[in-house]
Amino acid sequence: SQTIHQWPATLVQPVGSPLSLECTVEGTSNPNLYWYRQAAGRGLQLLFYSVGIGQISSEVPQNLSASRPQDRQFILSSKKLLLSDSGFYLCAWSASVGYTFGSGTRLTVV
Amino acid sequence: DQQVKQNSPSLSVQEGRISILNCDYTNSMFDYFLWYKKYPAEGPTFLISISSIKDKNEDGRFTVFLNKSAKHLSLHIVPSQPGDSAVYFCAASANSGAGSYQLTFGKGTKLSVIP
């Protein structure tokens, strides 16, 4: 069966510090991978998606970036966090229509 | 431009009654619709879906209705239970042709089922 792992569950980081959130998927090959953010009152906002290794599409201009160094690994990064980067970050995978989400990372930038 | 709209941020329903959550969309290319349920500090979980070739799909206490002409779908939960209290997201998908199967989400409706 397929599983998706996302960590850490919570993170408190100072403004200007770097960020690295990791997501891995098991039990499937060549999944589509996604990073979403849920900010207060904003619903689920698609940040990045990837249909293959090294292929990243960005939906929202911001100071975040994503990388897919391996087929089942998706990383969300920032060189310098802003206060506005606080939110609940979700990784998801799909092989067809419909996603399976990870458990999320609550990021608080202070 | 919000392509999937959930105009009610919150809804309160008595236990045992019907909960109706509404969703409207603007993109006529959407051909598949899903509902996700999300508890605090957890990732959303898939609840029920419907293809645009259908107007109703039922799974236990959950039924989704699709009105394509009105670009409107609704989720009915009956009877509502306290454990149904969560945020419900409506999502829609169009065949992007790029193989990504992107979902566009609404902002969510927080359902509170009162015992």
- The two structure tokens encoding residue A80: 């310098």
Say whether pLDDT at B97 is over 60.
Answer: no
Neighboring chain A residues of B93 at a CB cutoff of 8 Å: 97
Going by pLDDT thresholds of 50, 70 and 90, the confidence category of residue B102 is confident
> pLDDT digits over B47-92, tens only?
999 999 999 999 999 999 999 999 999 999 999 999 999 999 999 9
Q: Which of A99, A100, A103, A107 to mutate to test the interface with B (most CBs of B within 10 A)?
A: A99
Neighboring chain B residues of A99 at a CB cutoff of 8 Å: 44, 46, 103
Contact B46 A100 (CB under 8 A): yes
Which span out of B14-23, B37-46, B47-56 was modeled with the highest average pLDDT?
B14-23
Instruction: Burial-class residue A57 by CB neighbours within 10 Å (0-12, 13-18, 19+).
Output: middle
- Per-chain mean pLDDT for chain A: 91
Under 8 Å CB-to-CB from B78, ≥6 apart: which residues?
A: B17, B18, B19, B61, B63
Tell whether B93 is within 8 A of chain A (Cβ).
yes
User: DSSP letter string over B44-77?
Assistant: -EEEEEEETT-SEEEETTEEEEEETTTTEEEEEE
Residues A37-59 have a mean pLDDT of 87
Going by pLDDT thresholds of 50, 70 and 90, the confidence category of residue B98 is low
Helix (H, G, I), strand (E, B) or coil at B41: coil
Tell whether B107 is within 8 A of chain A (Cβ).
yes
Greater confidence (A31 vs B41) lies with A31
> pLDDT digits over A59-99, tens only?
876 789 999 999 999 999 999 999 999 999 999 999 877 88
Contact A44 B43 (CB under 8 A): no
Tell whether A62 is within 8 A of chain B (Cβ).
no
